Structure 1
Amino acid sequence: METKDPMSELLLSLEQIVLTRNVMQAIPALKNEVALPEPKRVREITGMQIDEFAQALGVSVSSVKSWEAKRTKPSGSAQKLMQLIQSNPCISRQLLS
């Protein structure tokens, strides 16, 4: 029967704790690395003009222009809506109704 060295067991446990802690701290950082939808690309996929796209998202034309010029970032809700439109471009026309 094999006997385990208490010191090596302790070191192994501490190593696992540190590794787990590092992984848990990295999880919020991964959320920030999720690619944001590119407003111009999403708009072009839909075939909409800037004014139509702004209306579909419920924002001003100047906001869309600012996003496309990368001067500002869309709000969280606008980003989510663009992700939805990107996955199903037909939705954008329904949003105009």
Structure 2
Amino acid sequence: MEIKDPMSELLSSLEHIVLTREVIQSAPPLKGEVLMPEPKRIREITGLEIDEFALAMGVSVSSVKSWEAKRTRPSRSAQKLMQLIQSNPCLSRELLA
């Protein structure tokens, strides 16, 4: 029976975890899966202030701040709306009218 060095085993396990995480994060989205839109980037593209963006999205300012700080994730419907706004930035102004 082969005796393995515990430190070597630990380092090997950590290396496996890191490499697996990198592969998962760099993998393209699965069919039907959509990448999460970046609220701050979308808001900046539209030129809206946080309060205007929140109004267009139908959520509170604190929700938008939380999304931008990555403390919480937008709901699926909010993500879809952001995808629409990302593909057509003028839509955000229309939602404010």
Q: TM-score, normalised by structure 1?
A: 0.67
1:15-54 correspondence runs (5 A): 30-31=30-31, 34-54=34-54
Q: How many residues align?
A: 69
Correspondence 1:8-87 to 2 at 5 A = 30-31=30-31, 34-87=34-87
Whole-angstrom CA distance in 1 between matches of 2:31 and 2:78: 17
Question: Deviating runs (4+, > 3 A) in structure 1?
Answer: none
Task: Supply the AA of the counterpart residue of 1:44.
Answer: E
Amino acid at match of 1:54: A
Stretches of structure 1 lacking an aligned partner (at least 5 in a row): 1-28
SS of residue matched to 1:30: coil
**Superposition TM-score, scaled by structure 2 size:** 0.67
What's the Cα RMSD here?
Answer: 1.5
Superposed displacement of residue 35, structure 1: 1.2
**1:91 aligned partner:** 91
Percentage identity across aligned positions?
80
The structure with the larger Rg is: 1
What's the CA shift for 1:70?
0.1
Take 1:40 and 1:33, find their aligned partners in 2: how far apart are those partners? 21
Give the aligned partner of residue 3 of structure 2. none
Residue ranges of structure 2 left out of the alignment (5+ in a row): 1-28
What is the SS of the residue equivalent to 2:30? Answer: helix
